[in-house]
Copies of this chain bind each other. A is one copy, B any other.
């Protein structure tokens, strides 16, 4: 299996609901350094999984509505704890949609799996990996 992975980042505010979270129940924030890996069984005729430039663009477009925002105020996250693992899945769904819609350019149609990793500090990170689906 081949993979290509690209990196970008967002800087957001949010808070968590539930005693599990202790001091993180207060409004705080995070830089998430975001890695998105695209898996493909075979390379395209050009010799790539997907074009790295288009992958970077698709990731930037996915992150733009979240960057520099207070996630507590975004309607798509109402009633949800926007934990690192939850956001990994959220970004995964958007990137899987980009693969299905052709936004990744040539090669995107054959992407079998995607893994989205969010680094929240030098000592903690989370990820979600799943099939792109039809």
Contacts and interface: CB of A to CB of B under 8 A. Distances in A.
Interface of A: 1-9, 11-14, 16, 18, 20-24, 26-33, 43, 46-49, 51-53, 56, 67-70, 80-86, 88-89, 105-106, 120-130
A112 to B, nearest CB: 13
Nearest to A52: B124
Given A1-B128, A23-B67, A48-B81, 19 more contacts: A2-B85, A2-B89, A3-B129, A4-B84, A11-B29, A11-B30, A13-B27, A20-B46, A23-B68, A29-B29, A29-B31, A33-B121, A33-B122, A43-B85, A43-B86, A43-B89, A46-B81, A52-B84, A52-B124
Contacts of A12: 28-29
Contacts of A67: 23, 28
A76 to B, nearest CB: 14
Nearest to A66: B28
Contact of A123 (B8, B13, B30, B81): B8
Nearest to A86: B47
